[in-house]
Amino acid sequence: MTTATDVKAGGTAAALRNLYLVRFGFALIWAVLLFLTGPGSDPVSVALLVIYPLFDVAAAVVDLRSSKTARPAAALYVNLALSLLAAIGLAATAASGVPAVLRVWGAWAITAGIVQLIVAVSRRRLGGQWAMILSGAISAIAGTGFILQAGTPTASLTSLAGYATVGGVFFLISALRLHRTAKST
């Protein structure tokens, strides 16, 4: 016998699974495009840099609308605001050069990683959240690395492609684990 809570959890798991699969695909495509544009900050790179946090804003909106039970709304709204500020900051600093962009991206990665960690811990009953917990922690650490890299002569935007790829893999792992939860309820 399934309870109403089980059905809601299954629906939430299915919605998150689908969202995470889309996020995985986006992260991979984005990473390849950024890597192919090279280490500079030309108009294509700038557009890609702004699109990434804007996609995160859209994902937070979808998450808010689709996940019914495990919905830490306050944290998702914080993530939405952080990502919107990051997009604005990246657009504003793009003309200042790669180091400025890395500092903004790093600050966003740290704060968004902490929020992702909080959201994932609150959703751990759904299953598949250990990957999101790790992803949040790694994002915060990587953000620190981006800020430190900004002060070096080898500062490059291509390191962000690796960051997005790793994050995408964590979304895929979580989606696969959530598939089991969605299927079993």
- In this predicted structure, what is the pLDDT of residue 3? 41
* Nearest partner of 171 among 29, 68, 7, judged by Cα: 29
- In this predicted structure, what is the pLDDT of residue 61? 93
Residue 95 has pLDDT above 90, yes or no: no
User: Average pLDDT in the 160-174 region?
Assistant: 94
pLDDT digits (tens, 9 = 90+) for 3-29: 434 445 567 788 889 999 999 999 999
Give residues with Cβ within 8 angstroms of 25, minimum separation 6.
168
Say what percent of the chain tops pLDDT 70.
85
pTM to 2 decimal places: 0.87
